[in-house]
Amino acid sequence: MSRGYTADSHRQGRVQTLTSLEQARRIAALALEKLADDVVILDMRPECSFTDYFVIATGRNQRQTASIWDEVHTRLKQEQRLLPQSIDGTREGAWIVADYLDVVLHVFTPEARAYYRLEELWGDVPAVDVDAAAV
């Protein structure tokens, strides 16, 4: 069950709660709908205690990273009443990070993704099949 912050927890019974894997796959699918490139889901459970999954995506420029983030944020709020615990980077747009507790979304420009290389940093964690992303 997802630990993410719900905007309207007293009505939570009306909304089906996603598991952390389902949430990661839903976020990946939403990013793909906004034409994100190189979408990757990393299973962080073997290596860290602060989240279950990273979803990493690339937008072609800062405008597209903002668009990807806006889509994920709006749709998760509407569909699941799910809001991130914290968000950073929306003003600059080169690296937007949204912490949904169970899932952390990273949306990069190509330059920022190449610079920070999160997949290399966390190279020993397994990747999850993005093709199975829930639409």
Q: 113-135: b or e for each residue (b if 16 or more CB lie within 10 Å)?
A: beeeeeeeebeebeebebeebee
For residue 63, being part of any structural domain is answered with yes
For residue 36, being part of any structural domain is answered with yes
For residue 133, being part of any structural domain is answered with no
Q: How far apart are the two ends of the chain, measured CA to CA in Å? A: 19
> Which residues form the domain of 83?
18-122
pLDDT, position 15: 55
For residue 57, being part of any structural domain is answered with yes
- The reported pTM is 0.85
For residue 84, being part of any structural domain is answered with yes
Count of domains for the chain = 1
Q: Domain containing 100 — which CATH number?
A: 3.30.460.10
Burial (CB < 10 A; 0-12, 13-18, 19+), residue 22, is middle
pLDDT, position 11: 43
Our CA dihedral for 80, 86, 92, 94, rounded to 10 degrees, sits at: -70
Contacts of 123 (CB under 8 A, 6+ apart): none
pLDDT, position 131: 74
pLDDT, position 12: 44
pLDDT, position 14: 52
Walk along the chain (135 residues) in steps of 10 and give the mean pLDDT of each run. Answer: 46 66 96 97 94 98 97 96 96 97 97 96 90 58
pLDDT, position 17: 83
